[in-house]
A and B are shown apart, each in its own frame.
Chain A
Amino acid sequence: MTVDIEPSLTAGRPFWHRDATLRGAVTFLVGTLVLAACGSATAGNSTAPSATPTPVCTGTVAPPNYTNGLTAVTGQAKTLSGAGSTFVAPMMSVWAAAYATDGGVQVAYQSVGSGAGVSQIQANTVNFGDSDAFMTDSDIAKAKGPIIQIPLVQAPVTVVYNLPGVPSGLKFDGSTLGKIFSGGITSWNDPAIAALNPGMNLPSLPIAVVHRSDSSGTTSIFTDFLTQTSPAWVTALGGSKTSVGKTVAWPVGIGGKGNEGVSAAVGQTQGGIAYLELDYAISQKLTYGDVKNKAGAFIQPCEQTAANATVGITTYPSDLRVDIVNQSTNPQAYPITGLTWALIYQNQTNAANAAALVNFFSWVLTKGQALTGSVYYTPLGPTLQALCIGQLKKITLNGSPIAS
């Protein structure tokens, strides 16, 4: 090793001359500050589209006034933990904030995706799970006991796109969307899209599909719609058994984690198209399109049109595992509307947790339904809401029912 003769040159000099690492760090910091000062003048431009969606759905939905809540159970725990769907996360955080003052219980919800929510409730690591795809019999078999699934709220899954100069309201139908998301249509000025949007000046950008990389109930709702309306999608995915679900084998596209990751990815990629819950699209100021429903009309997603998605459905299965995607023939219904289910063990063993759960969900199904408008979610209709309260009554504590 060569002898370092530097020390003799720096003898008698200030300490920052002697220590090379310190000099390096100081140079680095000063340099960075100078560059940042220069660079801030030419700050990076985001690729978010310029148009802000203007609601065609005028007016607001009158918040429902449900009074059929259960009597409060005493002795509740002070905290509740939940995990699951990112689809419901904005609504859940509004509920948790309001319930902290209204009910005195802190609800901690992890927005990790429906699949993770299901596995966490199967392992009983959280008090409740949440999924936009209801648990199948085989899912319930893997849990530690029977599970009650209660729909909490309805919301539309929007088709967002990032096209400079194109405002909200681009029209799509199921078969076109199926071809886009399976890689059949690769350019924005494809004749199929232009045929649905006569007069619209579509750029010749390549389509960048963005989908979920994690197990997602939003994916389940969206692929359910594609399976029902697009034979091309079903063929590309190898049959209707594998073309729908929380996870599918996406032939093309960029994967983002959670609704949050997808909205970030599509916001930054010009020519991007993705499926997102409505609140994310609005809060990220993304443009979204109108989708053709069963009655043949192109409908904008909003509170009212999502509410219409359950108009006409009069009977529900007793365990409330119902598929409402593209079912309504109402001409004003938005077809890609989904429910989200709370997943709770029917046989609770901890009195405090059971009381807190029953009180919280009773509140969510009554007073909580009036708060949905602030984040663009849709409250449950009266038929469904009454059935949900009935489900809540089935929760037992060590064998005997807890609620009344």
Chain B
Amino acid sequence: MPPPAGVSGSIPATRALPLPLKRGRPRVADRLFGSGVTVAGTLVLLVIGAMIIFLVLEGFPAMQHYGFFSFVTASRWAPSEAFPNVSHPNPYGILQFIYGTMLTSIIGMLIAVPLAVGAALVITDVAPQRVKGPLSALVDLLAAVPSVVYGFWGIFALIPAIKPVVDFLTTTLGTVPVIGVAFQGPFFGVSYFTAGLVLAIMVLPIIAAVCREVFRSTPRNEKEAALALGATRWEMLRIAVLPRARSGIVGAALLGLGRALGETIAVTMVIGNAVLHINPSIFSQGATMSSVIANEFTEATEPFHLSALFVVGFWLLIVALIVNILARLIVRRGVAL
């Protein structure tokens, strides 16, 4: 502290100057911690980068032979028509797998998001106190069921149960002039729609868990204010809880979408494995990017077949990465903790 103004001379400093922060002499533990954490972080990025590079390297022979974009512009997957000296047309078109992946995931989202939002609302605001815990835990338990068990359940329980309903839909919706093409039968059980249903059940716990946290973070006084002004419970939820949670719900849905896009075994068991071309009806068989890889990689013996499967994996990784990054950005920005 400098001597008081107006006084010159030799008043000695009664208080020592503050010691500088220990910048020049960092402790060993701090240094180790810093570098350890940095290594862990870069390792994660390196792994993702290495995966992308690996997929590109393994898929390079096919990409070079047929052209990089010819895979996503062709929609016919016919490995038996691949010959080493023929490079056009590309027999490994993957457009129908992208279509299958997006269609099953969208059907799953359309069913799962309203259900999950409803479940989260019930858990946070509607259910009595004693029931909240078990209900919440039950929804989380859905996430613990292995995916192959979902596949079994889909084949043996879900398909017989939905067959009468879907047969009815094919005879009614299937005859509507323009959109009827998407609902035409015959329905044989395995289809895009069945896979979408199974995916819906699988992503429900993820979306519900995130929505639950989002709804729980609504300020209590806003809810109480709405109730005090005479709002019914539904009006209170609509006014005080949902608007604030919109971006959180979107983020949760995108997280679920990321899971649905990559789901392999349950989808492979219930989608029917029709890989040739796009089937317009949601009640017909199809294939997704992950299901075609799972089915064909063990015996990909045609020319460029294995390489083409790596290209499918590459595009699947890109799509999944984009969706996951989007989800994290939105959730982080929207949820107030």
Given A1-B337, A249-B81, A252-B274, A116 and B185 contact (CB-CB distance below 8 Å): no
Contact A115-B301, Cβ < 8 Å, known A214-B295, A249-B81: yes
Chain A neighbourhood of B216, CB < 8 A: 1-2
**Chain B residue with Cβ nearest A117:** B299
- Rounded to whole Å, the gap between the CB of A9 and the closest CB of chain B is 7
Quick one: CB contact mask for B109-145 with A, threshold 8 Å, 1 for yes?
A: 0000000000000000000010011111110110000
CB distance from A117 to the nearest CB of B (A): 8
* CB closest chain-A residue, reference B161: A44
Instruction: Provide the bound-state CA to CA distance between A223 and B259, in Å.
Output: 39
Q: Can you list, as one digit per residue, whether each of B132-168 has a CB less than 8 Å from chain A (1) or not (0)?
A: 1111111011000000000000011101100000000
Q: Does B68 contact A (CB under 8 A)?
A: no
B190 & A238 in contact (Cβ 8 Å cutoff): no
Report which of A44, A118, A253 forms a contact with B156, defined as CB distance below 8 A.
A44
Residues from chain A with a CB closer than 8 A to the CB of B232 are none
The B-contacting residues of A in range 342-401, CB under 8 angstroms, are none
Q: A9-B129, A253-B285 are in contact. Are A1 and B134 (CB under 8 A)?
A: no
Chain B residues 227-278 with CB under 8 Å of chain A are 272-276
Partner of A249, one of B80, B138, B296, B337: B80
A20 / chain B contacts, CB cutoff of 8 Å: 132-134, 136-137
| A75 at interface by CB-CB < 8 Å | no
Which of A6, A9, A24, A255 has its CB near the most chain B CB atoms (within 10 A)? A255
Against A, the Cβ 8 Å flags (1 = close, 0 = not) of B181-222 are: 000011011100000000000000000000000001100100
Taking a contact as CB atoms closer than 8 A, the residue among A44, A112, A247, A256 that contacts B302 in the complex is A247
Give every chain B residue within 8 A of A250 (Cβ-Cβ): 274, 276
Q: Once the chains bind, are A24 and B276 in contact (CB under 8 Å)? A: no
Residue numbers in B under 8 Å from A24 (CB-CB)? 133-138, 140-141
The answer to whether A44 and B273 touch (CB under 8 A), given A9-B129, A23-B137, A254-B285, is no
Q: Is the CB of A208 within 8 A of B186?
A: yes
Cα A90 to Cα B137 in complex, Å, equals 46
Cβ < 8 Å to B, chain A residues 250-269: 250-257, 265, 268-269
B residues 266-308 near A (Cβ < 8 Å) are 272-276, 285, 295-296, 298-299, 301-302
State which residues 193-213 of A face B: CB under 8 Å: 206, 208, 213
Q: Tell yes or no: B59 within 8 A of A by CB.
A: no
A115: chain B residues at CB < 8 Å are: 299, 301
Q: Is the interface of B mostly helix, strand, loop or mixed?
A: helix
Q: A21 in the interface, Cβ–Cβ < 8 Å?
A: yes
CB of B78 within 8 Å of the partner chain: yes
User: A116-B298, A268-B189 given as contacts; is B156 within 8 A of A28 (CB)?
Assistant: no
Could you give, for residues 293-337 of chain B, a 1 whenever the CB lies within 8 Å of some chain A CB and a 0 otherwise? 001101101100000000000000000000000000000000001
Q: Tell me the A122-177 residues at the B interface (CB within 8 Å).
A: 139
Chain B residue at smallest Cβ distance from A47:
B160
**Within 8 Å of chain A (Cβ to Cβ): is B100?**
no
Residue of B76, B189, B301 touching A119 (CB-CB under 8 A) = B301
A249 touching B302 by the CB < 8 A rule? no
Out of A2, A113, A206, A256, name the residue touching B299 (CB < 8 Å). A113
Within 8 Å CB of A289, what residues of B? Answer: none
Q: Is the CB of A268 within 8 A of B185?
A: no
* Complex: chain A residue closest to B306, CB-CB: A119
A27's partner among B134, B190, B302 (CB-CB below 8 A) is: B134
Question: In the complex, what residues of A have CB within 8 A of residue B275's CB?
Answer: 213, 255
Complex CA–CA separation, A113 to B295 (angstroms): 12
* B295 CB contacts on chain A under 8 angstroms: 213-214, 255, 257
Choose among A118, A206, A252 the residue that contacts B301 (Cβ–Cβ < 8 A).
A118
Residues of A within 8 A of B296 (CB): 213-214
Report whether A116 and B133 are in contact in the complex, using a CB–CB cutoff of 8 Å.
no
Say whether B79 faces chain A, with CB atoms less than 8 Å apart.
Answer: yes
Interface size on A, residues (CB 8 A): 44
CA distance A25 to B217 in the complex (A): 26
Shortest distance between the CB of A261 and any CB in chain B (Å): 9
A132 to chain B, nearest CB (A): 13
A238 partner residues in chain B, CB cutoff 8 A: 81
Residues 97-122 of chain A, each 1 if its beta carbon lies under 8 Å from chain B, else 0 = 00000000000000011011011000
Minimum CB–CB distance for A207 against chain B, Å? 9
Contact in complex: A23, B133 (CB < 8 Å): yes
Bound: A170/B125 CA distance, A: 62
**Min distance, Cβ B104 to any Cβ of chain A, angstroms:** 16
In the assembled complex, which residues on chain B have CB atoms less than 8 Å from the CB atom of A256? 273
Residue in B78, B129, B132, B156 whose Cβ sees the most chain A Cβ within 10 Å: B78
- Which residues from B are CB-within-8-Å of A338? none
Shortest C-beta distance, B116 to chain A (Å), equals: 17
Min CB gap A203→B, angstroms: 13
B3 to chain A, nearest CB (A): 51
Report B-chain residues with C-beta under 8 Å of the C-beta of A113: 298-299
Q: When chains A and B are docked, how far (Å) is the Cα of A25 from the Cα of B185?
A: 40
Distance A61 CA – B141 CA, assembled complex (angstroms): 57
User: Which residue from B136, B217, B299, B337 sits with its C-beta under 8 Å from A215?
Assistant: B299
Residues of A within 8 A of B185 (CB): 206
A208 contacts which of B133, B157, B188 (Cβ < 8 Å)?
A: B188
* Interface presence of A329 (CB below 8 A): no
Closest residue of A by beta carbon distance from B220: A2
Can you list 6 A-B contacts (CB < 8 A)?
A27-B134, A119-B298, A139-B301, A213-B295, A249-B79, A254-B274
**Interface on A for B, CB 8 Å cutoff?**
1-2, 6, 9, 20-21, 23-25, 27-28, 44-45, 112-113, 115-116, 118-119, 139, 206, 208, 213-215, 238, 242, 245, 247-257, 265, 268-269, 271-272
Other A-B pairs, 15, CB within 8 Å; known A112-B299, A214-B295, A268-B155: A2-B216, A9-B129, A20-B137, A23-B137, A24-B141, A44-B160, A45-B160, A119-B298, A213-B275, A213-B296, A215-B301, A248-B80, A249-B276, A254-B285, A269-B189
